[in-house]
């Protein structure tokens, strides 16, 4: 249900409207077009993730799809708008996820573990999108950078709230710098985007567990 909603939403986004084709007119066509559109954006994400936005050319994207450069413009209006879409998909879900975590309640410790897992999960489900968002969002044009920055800040704010509530509840130590704890957790987890690869050596759930423990208890012996 949620997926469907998401899919429908896509047809009303700036992304779609900015491509210069007439919208398809039957449900079947719509469906087919959307599938192809997703492939195109997938390819863009993969290429951007590998070479960086400026280091990647539209030809790289086209090559990966086995089509010609110009054909891409049937699906997006510009390279920049493709980045926009990729970054959009990159942030997507983080906010929703943390909101779910907070809604579920539980103690600070439980919530933090869930938050860490929520933050790392996209590294398995849409790693290229996340990487591009993390590395190349600064190359977006002002308008969409702001939109995406807003989502980012909202997410950080919810995370920080999680810490703050934990302190108030006495789950976390008094005097904890919640802003810094948030930034530390984000830094730690985001860094994983550059070295974690699915199925290589470590499971994401174990990774999340380790990170959470570290944040919660630190490294010192007396904490054990």
Partner DNA sequence: GATGAATGAGATTTCATTCAT
Partner DNA sequence: CATGAATGAAATCTCATTCAT
Note the residues at the interface with a copy of itself (CB under 8 A).
Answer: 22, 52-55, 68, 109, 112, 135, 138-139, 163, 166, 170-177, 180-181, 183-184, 186-192, 195, 207, 210-211, 214-224
Residue 115 found at the interface with DNA (CB under 7 A): no
Tell me the two tokens of residue 119: 């933050």
Q: Which residue has the tokens 């995406």?
A: 148
How big is the CA angle at 185 (ends 154 and 191), to the nearest 5 degrees? 105
Which of a copy of itself, DNA, none has residue 11 at its interface (CB below 5 to 8 Å by kind)?
none
Give the distance from CA 158 to its chain's centroid: 16
Stretch that binds DNA, among 26-34, 95-103, 127-135, 154-162 (CB under 7 A): 26-34
Binding-site member from 18, 78, 110, 124 for DNA (CB under 7 A): 78
User: Would you say 87 and 146 are in contact if contact means Cβ atoms under 8 Å apart?
Assistant: no
Contact flag: residue 143 with DNA (CB under 7 A): no
- In the structure encoding, which two tokens stand for residue 211, read together? 């990170």
Contacts of 161 (CB under 8 A, 6+ apart): 102
Q: What is the token pair recorded at 74?
A: 């049937």
Question: Smallest distance, Å, CB 36 to DNA?
Answer: 5
162 binds, among DNA, a copy of itself, none (CB under 5 to 8 A by kind): none
Indicate the residue among 25 and 194 with the shorter CB distance to DNA.
25
Q: How many residues bind DNA (CB under 7 A)?
A: 24
Is 58 one of the binding residues for DNA (CB under 7 A)?
Answer: yes
Residue 198's Cβ-count burial label (10 Å; 0-12, 13-18, 19+) is: exposed
Structure tokens at 94: 């983080």
Query: Minimum distance between the CB of residue 134 and DNA, rounded to whole angstroms?
Result: 20
Element (H, E) at 153: helix 142-169
Of the candidates 25, 142, 219, 223, which one interacts with DNA according to CB under 7 A? 25
Q: Residues 6, 13, 17, 71: which binds DNA (CB under 7 A)? A: 71
First to last CA, the chain: 44
Contact status: 150 vs DNA (CB under 7 A):
no
Q: 217 contacts which partner out of DNA, a copy of itself, none, CB within 5 to 8 A by kind?
A: a copy of itself
Q: How far is CA 111 from CA 15, 22, 26, 158, in A?
A: 34, 46, 45, 12
Residues that bind DNA in the complex, under the rule CB under 7 A: 21-22, 24-25, 29, 32-33, 36, 56-59, 67-74, 77-80
């Amino acid at each position: 249900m949620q997926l469907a909603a998401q899919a429908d939403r896509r047809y009303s986004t700036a992304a779609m409207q900015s491509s210069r084709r007439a919208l398809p007119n039957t449900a079947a066509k719509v469906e087919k077009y959307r599938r192809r559109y997703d492939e195109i954006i997938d390819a863009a994400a993969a290429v951007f993730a590998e070479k960086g936005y400026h280091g990647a050319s539209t030809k790289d994207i086209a090559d990966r799809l086995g089509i010609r450069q110009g054909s891409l413009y049937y699906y997006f209006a510009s390279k920049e708008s493709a980045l926009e879409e990729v970054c959009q998909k990159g942030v997507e879900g983080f906010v929703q996820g943390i909101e779910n975590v907070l809604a579920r309640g539980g103690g600070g410790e439980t919530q933090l573990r869930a938050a860490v897992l929520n933050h790392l999960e996209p590294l398995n489900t849409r790693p290229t999108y996340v990487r591009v968002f993390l590395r190349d969002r600064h190359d977006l044009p002002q308008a969409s950078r702001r939109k995406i920055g807003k989502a980012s800040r909202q997410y950080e704010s919810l995370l920080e709230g999680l810490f703050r509530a934990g302190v108030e509840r006495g789950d976390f130590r008094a005097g904890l710098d919640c802003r810094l704890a948030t930034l530390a957790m984000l830094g730690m987890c985001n860094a994983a985007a550059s070295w974690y690869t699915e199925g290589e050596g470590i499971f994401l759930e174990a990774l999340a567990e380790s990170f959470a423990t570290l944040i919660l208890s630190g490294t010192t012996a007396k904490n054990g």
